[in-house]
Copies of this chain bind each other. A is one copy, B any other.
Amino acid sequence: MSHVGYGCLMAVDRDHVLRSAAALLTRKSTATMDEVAKAAGISRATLHRQFAGRDALVRALEALGIEECEAALDAARLDDGTAQEAVRRLVRELEKVAGLLAFLYTENQLFEGDGQHEGWARLDARMAALFRRGQQSGEFRIDLSPAWLTEALYGLMASAAWAVTEGRVAAKDFHHMIVELLLGGALRREEP
């Protein structure tokens, strides 16, 4: 028996590997298991010991992404203040997950079968609830469904993350670009 140290050490390494893989796959979604291993500073053998295969790795990244999104939603306190303020906090919190989210967003294989992760439905429901709250309070227009606003938020996050890595837009504008477009749109507001 190797006592308890085993599980502990593995957990730490596993997290490091996962984050390295996320960073790499965000940039190059077709990266090899070899490249993922090198990026994490470990050998391919060790990578396989921690994740049964590429599929398992992607699944773990999906779980990580969902976990971090849920943490972001918690931190954004979606039920506090106006819905608009909550959306602003939400985008602020989601910004750090945007890269991983963009990667998962393109891994459409995750959503093909019937066995997609239930976490996505939970996240969708929470975000849609926020938009619905904004509609009921009169802040948001009612002709754009909560489901669409949720999808649009994902899409804008992915687009922005991708545009930033491509150097088309500045990273510092991330929050402003998404929030202002999502909430306010491109048209100038008439001065009241």
Contacts and interface: CB of A to CB of B under 8 A. Distances in A.
B187 A184 contact: yes
Given A108-B29, A151-B163, A185 B188 contact: no
Size category, A interface? 35 or more
Nearest to A190: B192
A159 B169 contact: no
Identical subunits present: 2
Given A28-B112, A152-B156, A156-B152, A186 B131 contact: yes
Interface string A94-135: 000000000000101101100000000000000000010010
A182 interface: yes
Contacts of A106: 106, 108
A111 B166 contact: yes
Contact of A176 (B84, B143, B151, B192): B143
Which 8 residue pairs across A and B have the least CB separation, nearest first?
Answer: A155-B159, A185-B185, A184-B185, A151-B163, A155-B155, A106-B106, A140-B186, A141-B188
Interface string A162-192: 1100101100010011001111111111101
A151 B160 contact: yes
A144 interface: yes
